[in-house]
Chains A and B, each alone.
Chain A
Amino acid sequence: MTMRPDPTFHASPKLAMEAPPENFAYTLLLSPDFSKPDALAVIDVNKDSASYGQIVHTITMPNKGDEFHHFGWNACSSALSPLTGHAFVERRYLVIPGLRSSRIYIVDTKPDPTKARIHKIIEPEEVFKKTGYSRPHTIHCGPEGIYVSTLGGGGKDGTDGPPGVFIMDCETFEVLGRWEIDRGPQDKHYDFWWNLPRDYMVSSEWAVPPQFENGIVPEDLLSNKYGHRLHFWDLRERRHVQTLDLGANHQMALEVRPAHDPVREYGFVGVVVDTNNLEGSIWTWWREGGQFHVEKTATIPAEPAPKEKLPPLLQGFGAVPPLVTDIDLSMDDRFLYVSCWGTGEMRQYDVSEPRKPKLAGSVHIGGIARRTPHPNGKAVAGGPQMVEISRDGKRVYWTNSLYSTWDDQFYPDGVPGVEVMAKAGANGGLELASDYFVSFPDGYRAHQIRLEGGDCSTDSFCYPSV
């Protein structure tokens, strides 16, 4: 407990944008063959520092096979919510779930990020026993503490009951139990986020564990058995209120990005692949008259490619699907970044008119068939994947791995972990920074990035930008 609110908590998105820029980028590293323990890398991103663009600290975990994926802060700007009175917790601990092991690590980043260390380890049994869920995934800091979405239910293969969200205490990290009181028809999970003053949550669907743990199951995909729905919830009542089905051919609705400004009652979700034509799509959802609505507002076509450039999985199609695996919305809700992991493209859409996204910028790097090198000349495997935007919207960071077993199917030659950064123009436009290219130790792939002091997929706000 501090005497003043953490200086990295901001009342509105506008204030967050005006805050000093990030000095460190925390990046999760995973060992895809589980031969080494997963790790957290701390990268110096201060342009004026002698070690700019270098890994300045690594925390290696004491276990193997965790498969790090997403992670988050114990507290963020949502702590300034006048309803919750948590203003004096610190943004200090990173909560890192092992997607494969269900183990959760708490890493203390204070007093010095370059000396960050493990603070606590929550063993899988505690998660299983207290929640009945498994495979923890997305972390958000909110009104009742830390919200953790899971991808699996109980039992060995995670199919004994639906997956859901559970709550952890944001100071003691005790697992408190399930969040849902009434889950309605929700039976799959992926991402979730909310609008705090408007009191609603939105969640999405990927798949059940047997559909992803050992790789993508082509038969299930072609028979449209992956997730394709959005769920809307009453946040404080913890009750499911509405389902919107995107249509069975829109397979895998992943990242949910609500507008940061709480007066804006809309957001976006990315769909990985349309099984009719392999295109990826962006959907805009919004609330009007107490009801939620959704509409497909942008599509990205598949790119034809010769068979010899394709992995066995795609050879029958003669094309590369864009595979929209991550999206991220800038703090001012103006630009939506869309990772096309298959075609190797990072797209920037101007979403000033949320239901009419306009392509404003694009860079190519990696890609199944294109294999575009970085401007510094180095080869890059994989494609743009987990993307994080600086609070001021000027720098866009991303890594190149999706998920261990899926990487191997789409990029059989391997996906050595890299992290790159692109500079965004004030009115659009995207350009890769030639001086920022982080390559990780051999045998490691890189996944989600969290920025020191908060970023565009962490902080949620209770006051509008005025």
Chain B
Amino acid sequence: MGTMAWLWLAVIASGLYHGINPGMGWPLAVSSGLMEKSPRALFGALGILAIGHLAATLLMLLPFALLVAVAEWRRPIQAAAALIVIGFGLFRVLNPRHPRALAKIPPTQLGFWSFAVAIAHGAGLMLVPIYLGLCQASDLDRSHPAASTLASANLGIALLVALVHVAAMIVAGGSLAWAVYRYLGVRFVSKSWFNLDKVWAISLVLVGGIALAFNLVDPM
């Protein structure tokens, strides 16, 4: 498999990973479905959670889409992005407590909650190094395109990365939510809830570390 395929696989894998993490909201969809006694409420909640997560992912990716359009900035920006992700991961390792502000978001604002949780946990940030890798891999197929062409190509990739990631997330989280709602019962909520805080933080450090390693050995 080429680099490109591996990177897309990483986009999907991170989506599945975010989806099964209760912290990203699938239990809320279960709760909505049960409270309203309707599967439609469950799917409605999933849709709103998806929009929030998509917005948070795009907010992280879009600035980088514009920055890496300037070819000579690419390497330092990739390195900086990797360092930011590592730094945020380390911050989460050292400060595992949840920001209290999240608890103040009312249950009626599910979309905003999903957005805020994704931002606070660095869910979108985790995708940045993968995304930058994809931008680079697709650049290599071209010969010296204009910065404007690159920028629009990068924006297209950003949108695609975010959509694929969120689709994977909703498939994973939605399947779990549906299984719990329809078959497993709410007992599964506490049974399945593992403390992923450390693992999550380490995932950030790993993603950033791998990206940084590639950046340093990159001959270009």
Asked if residues A143 and B103 are in contact (CB atoms below 8 Å), the reply is: yes
CA distance in complex: A83, B25 (Å)? 8
Q: Is A356 part of the binding interface, using a Cβ–Cβ cutoff of 8 Å?
A: no
Q: Is A125 part of the binding interface, using a Cβ–Cβ cutoff of 8 Å?
A: no
Contact of A1 among B26, B102, B193, B197 (CB under 8 A): B197
Asked if residues A199 and B108 are in contact (CB atoms below 8 Å), the reply is: yes
Query: In the complex, what residues of A have CB within 8 A of residue B87's CB?
Result: none
Q: A5-B193, A11-B186, A11-B189 are in contact. Are A82 and B102 (CB under 8 A)?
A: no
Q: Is A10 part of the binding interface, using a Cβ–Cβ cutoff of 8 Å?
A: yes
Q: A80-B189, A466-B185 are in contact. Are A262 and B35 (CB under 8 A)?
A: yes
Query: Number of residues in A with C-beta < 8 Å to the partner?
Result: 37
Asked if residues A11 and B113 are in contact (CB atoms below 8 Å), the reply is: no
Q: Is A315 part of the binding interface, using a Cβ–Cβ cutoff of 8 Å?
A: no
Interface residues of A in 1-51 (CB under 8 A from B): 1-5, 9-12, 15
CA distance in complex: A88, B117 (Å)? 17
CA distance in complex: A12, B191 (Å)? 13
In this complex, what residue of B is CB-closest to A11?
B186
Q: Is B100 part of the binding interface, using a Cβ–Cβ cutoff of 8 Å?
A: yes
Q: Is A357 part of the binding interface, using a Cβ–Cβ cutoff of 8 Å?
A: no
Contact of B23 among A15, A85, A145, A463 (CB under 8 A): A85
Q: How far is the CB of B107 from chain A (nearest CB, A)?
A: 5
Query: In the complex, what residues of B have CB within 8 A of residue A263's CB?
Result: 34-35, 37
Q: How far is the CB of B196 from chain A (nearest CB, A)?
A: 10
Main secondary structure, interface of A, reads loop
In this complex, what residue of A is CB-closest to B109?
A236
Query: In the complex, what residues of B have CB within 8 A of residue A12's CB?
Result: 186
Cβ contacts B93-104/A at 8 Å (1 or 0 each) = 000111010111
Q: A197-B31, A263-B35 are in contact. Are A84 and B193 (CB under 8 A)?
A: no
Q: How far is the CB of B27 from chain A (nearest CB, A)?
A: 4
CA distance in complex: A2, B190 (Å)? 13
Q: Is A295 part of the binding interface, using a Cβ–Cβ cutoff of 8 Å?
A: no
Q: Is B195 part of the binding interface, using a Cβ–Cβ cutoff of 8 Å?
A: yes
Cβ contacts B23-62/A at 8 Å (1 or 0 each) = 1011110110011010000000000000000000000000
Q: A197-B35, A462-B31 are in contact. Are A84 and B98 (CB under 8 A)?
A: yes
CA distance in complex: A165, B63 (Å)? 43
Q: How far is the CB of A140 from chain B (nearest CB, A)?
A: 14
Query: In the complex, what residues of B have CB within 8 A of residue A3's CB?
Result: 194-195
For the complex of A and B, list the 8 residue pairs with the smallest distance between their C-beta atoms, beginning with the closest.
A82-B27, A11-B186, A236-B106, A143-B103, A82-B28, A463-B186, A5-B190, A11-B189
Could you list 26 A-B pairs, sorted by A, with CB under 8 Å?
A3-B195, A4-B194, A5-B190, A11-B190, A80-B27, A80-B193, A82-B27, A84-B98, A85-B102, A86-B98, A87-B22, A87-B190, A87-B195, A144-B103, A199-B106, A236-B104, A236-B107, A262-B35, A263-B34, A263-B35, A462-B31, A463-B30, A463-B34, A463-B189, A464-B34, A466-B186
Listed in ascending order, the chain A residues whose CB lies under 8 Å from chain B are 1-5, 9-12, 15, 80, 82-88, 143-145, 171, 176, 196-199, 234-237, 262-263, 462-464, 466
